[in-house]
Amino acid sequence: MTRRTSLDAPQSLYGRSVLGSDLRWLPPKERCDLLIVAGIHGEEADTTIALSRAFRSLGPEEICPNVALVICANPDGIALGTRGNANGVDLNRNFPARDWQPGTTTCLWHVDEAEALPISTGPEPASEPESKALISLIEDCKPEQVLTLHGPLGCVDDPNGSPLGHWIGARTGLPVVSEIGYPTPGSMGTWAAERGLPWITWEFPPESIESISKTQVPVLMDILKRNYSPPLPSA
């Protein structure tokens, strides 16, 4: 399948990064029931690869017209191999939630070690072009639910206990939790919760991209097809 080797699909521009990279998304053909976002942390390139592989493994007619994708929300970070964007800001701590905090927060160098490193939250909420553009995109497309892909904590963070979150947990064998276990001030999920937008964070396990392609990508493919039970909520 030549489709598997290139992302041959119409993409729309929704902004530009600090270094001028295109911020692109694959819009839904109809109303947006589900928006899937990958690559918000540059050191989690496996999420971008996994979502791209899932999309490229399906024919256009197989993909649900109500699903939209942001395959890479932080292209500069992916290119630089850094958690934050080119300004060194953690985009997932830069959202205008009530608990946003100025200065720095911390992140782990290795998830199974105690060493915590400082990382900027930005000079103000939504200071970064990537987070600002993603907020505008979400406000414009008005998804009924958002699924973000992260790693490598190996769990499904679903505070609302949604059918989709439990289905992902059952398919992957990952535990479904109501909180990640540490503070995340200014996160996309907190920002969404304050607006009543259902939000799931799917944390991939600490595996190689090759392994994730075999264990997580087939589950993503079924979500793109809406080939699971129970179905996504609809208005």
Per residue in 187-220, pLDDT (tens digit) is: 999 999 999 999 999 999 999 999 999 999 999 9
Q: Which residue in 115, 179, 203, 207 is the catalytic one?
A: 203
Element (H, E) at 118: strand 116-120
Q: Band the pLDDT of 231: cuts 50, 70, 90.
A: low
Residue 139 designated active-site:
no
Q: Band the pLDDT of 230: cuts 50, 70, 90.
A: low
DSSP assignment of 122-157 equals: -SSTT-SHHHHHHHHHHHHH--SEEEEEE-SS-EEE
Element (H, E) at 44: none
- Please give the structure tokens belonging to residue 25: 């998304």
How high is the pLDDT of residue 4? 83
Average pLDDT, the chain: 94
- Strand partners of residue 202: 149, 156
The residue behind tokens 């070690």 is: 113
Strand pairing category for 104-108 and 116-120: antiparallel
Closest to 147 (Cα-Cα) out of 13, 47, 17, 79: 47
Model pTM score:
0.95
